[in-house]
Amino acid sequence: MYKNQIKAKIENLRKEINYHDHSYHVLDSPEISDYKYDTLVKELMDLEEKHPELITPDSPTQRVGGKPETKFPQVAHTVPLLSLDNSYNENDLLDFDKRIKKEVGETVEYVVEYKIDGLSVALKYENGSFVRGTTRGDGTVGEDITSNLRTIKSIPLRLQEETSIEVRGEAYIPKKKFAELNRRQEENEDTVFANPRNAAAGSLRQLDPKIAASRPLDISIFSILAISGAAIDRHSYALEYLKKLGFKTSNYEVCKDIGEVIELCNKWQEKRYDLPFEIDGLVIKVNDLSKREILGTRAKSPRWAIAFKFPAEEKETLVKGVIVQIGRTGAVTPTAILEPVTVAGSVVSRATLHNQDFIDMKDIRIGDTVVIHKAGDVIPEVVRVIKEKRNGEEQKYVLPSECPECKEKTVRLDGEVALRCINIACPAQLRRGIIHFVSRNAMNIDGLGEALVTMLLDKGFIKDPGDIYYLKDRREELVDLERMGEKSVENLLDAIERSKKNDLGRLVNALGIKLVGSKAATLVADTFGSMDKLIEASEEEITAIDEIGPKMAKSMVAFFNDEKNLKVIEKIKESGVNMESKKKSKTNVNLKLEGMTFVLTGTLPNYSRNEAKEIIESLGGKVTGSVSKKTTYVLAGENPGSKIDKANELGVNVITEEEFQDLTR
């Protein structure tokens, strides 16, 4: 290829990748499979590696890079990042409206937006390229966290227009992803985050951008701080222009008067728990920018805007007792049993107490009246003890000195907060490890739930994860188990057989290596290509992979150096479980479903929805949730829904599972 052709190819790849980043991370409407996306990125990376002089800062490959910072440089804001005055009730809003009308007249239109609870940041673009991102700081001076902000895929590195603009937004972590992040933290025995705001702020203030890249950060842009060459006279128009440039913005509503504003505040006070992110209120802004000029600002806040703060959803309840669970790595985790109470839309009867330090710090006792809330509206947590309600009968709680499962002594290792059972033969650790092995994000063996795993262990049918793949030899004994029967056993054995075809990344995740989650498992599996090569890898080779740190690499090497673990892996291998990364060989696969769009409806006898989706995407197809004229096939299982009617109405082909199997062979 000539230099001009290479440059054109690189620019086209960047445009295509940016388009798909925007579709996925901003519009939440992916148009290609993960494999196809990864292929585009790999092609761009290969070209840039061969022609480093053509790499630009706004290339999608440059989101994560560079060495960790030693500290963040201070940056003076060109436009102050003001804070907001707060209001808490209807009277506060009416007073705000009176002050506005006194200055600008009786007709005032307001824009109402979500007050997302995260970290406020400013993003600067020159000629359409992202050049700098800073924290709010004190409003006048912030910290340059550009490297970390570049890792957020909903932040465009290049805008749809070559404009110079500075915008302000809120970086946050969605509620479900926050819950997943904390589950991972607990699994890896790291400190859990108190709430999504702390998690987002902590992630963006990491000196190593690879850590920020591993966190599920998102952003919502809510205002233009400065812009060249665009005349905008309404805040609502500004929000629409931001969308046009490629920014992610949250929903907003224009209200013709303060009465409509109050109605919205009352509505969202009840409905806030339905949102996928945490809000602590709403923001009310004068829409007309010329009226904002008249109103001006105070020292630290604008006169033309106010925040309506929701009351915190906290409830009192009683600590009835404490139970402990032994995790798959031996960590002893205490859980408070509570008098059931409704918080943030659901009934809460338990709350994690994390460890002994947490219990002692908050002085939580059995019999205490406590205040609880849901961190991120998701995870029940004890906020504080109401000590004035104590009657003297409350009992202090100390974690057990011996494991409740195996009766061996529990210990607290140097440098750890967790109490731990270090007996490697502890049945609780084995049980939790196997439950993880068969879980949806690991080997995904449908029908092998916690109760059945416990029964199989108790009966001696399995002693390690490898034994699962030899249960077919005990078919008759399985049929005789309580609540099993011929059909249940057949479904279980079929699910076990299907799991043998999983990609290597799922198996590595299923092994339950300390500190290694599903993302890291996939990374190492795709990098080394096979289990044999991964077992032989050194710490240096593993840490050479982006996003894999030295602690994780050390943990993997230690795991694969353990003879007991290698015997289990060999047993799994001999049963016929796939030991290679499919991603390594996908370049030779005929993507026979490329360009086709599928909709799934009903229950498929031989596949879960996720399995059918993975097959379609591995062959280049796409799965969407609704039927349209662009749909190629509707795959219908048992008890299909209204999607069949829609398909018939539009003349879309409806296929059975058998026809699907013929199509994908």
Q: Which residues are catalytic?
A: 115
3-state secondary structure of 149: helix
Q: Which two tokens stand for residue 184?
A: 């991972």
Which residues make Cβ contacts (< 8 Å) with residue 460, sequence separation at least 6?
A: none
Match 């209200």 to its residue by tokens: 255
Long-range residue pairs from 574-578, CB within 8 A, at least 24 positions apart, any chain: 575/466, 575/469, 575/470, 575/500, 576/469, 576/500, 577/469, 577/499, 577/500, 577/502, 577/507, 578/500, 578/501, 578/502, 578/503, 578/504, 578/507
Hey, what are 510's tokens? 């299923």
29-34 long-range CB contacts below 8 Å, 24 or more apart? 30/622, 31/622, 32/622, 33/616, 33/617, 33/618, 33/620, 33/621, 33/622, 34/617
Q: How far apart are CA 115 and CA 307, in angstroms?
A: 8
Phi, psi angle pair for 88, to nearest 5°: -130, -10
Q: How far apart are CA 635 and CA 613, in angstroms?
A: 11
Beta pairing, strands 633-636 & 597-601: parallel
DSSP-derived 3-state class of residue 422 = coil
Q: How far is CA 140 from the centre of its chain?
A: 32
Do 253 and 111 form a contact (C-beta atoms < 8 A)?
A: yes
DSSP letters for 22-69: IIIIISS---S-HHHHHHHHHHHHHHHHH-GGG--TTSGGGSS-SPPP
Coil, strand or helix at 331: strand
3-state helix, strand, coil in the chain (%, to 5): 40, 20, 35
Rounded Cα distance between 67 and 85, Å, is 39
CA dihedral 265, 269, 275, 280 (to 10 degrees): 90
Q: How far apart are CA 346 and CA 367, in angstroms?
A: 23
CA-based nearest residue to 148, from 71, 64, 222, 59 = 64
- 461-475 burial, b at 16+ Cβ within 10 Å, e below that, comes to bbebbbbbbebeebe
Cα distance between residue 567 and residue 88, in whole Å:
63
* Residues written for the chain: 665
Q: Which residues contact 183 (CB under 8 A, 6 or more apart)?
A: none
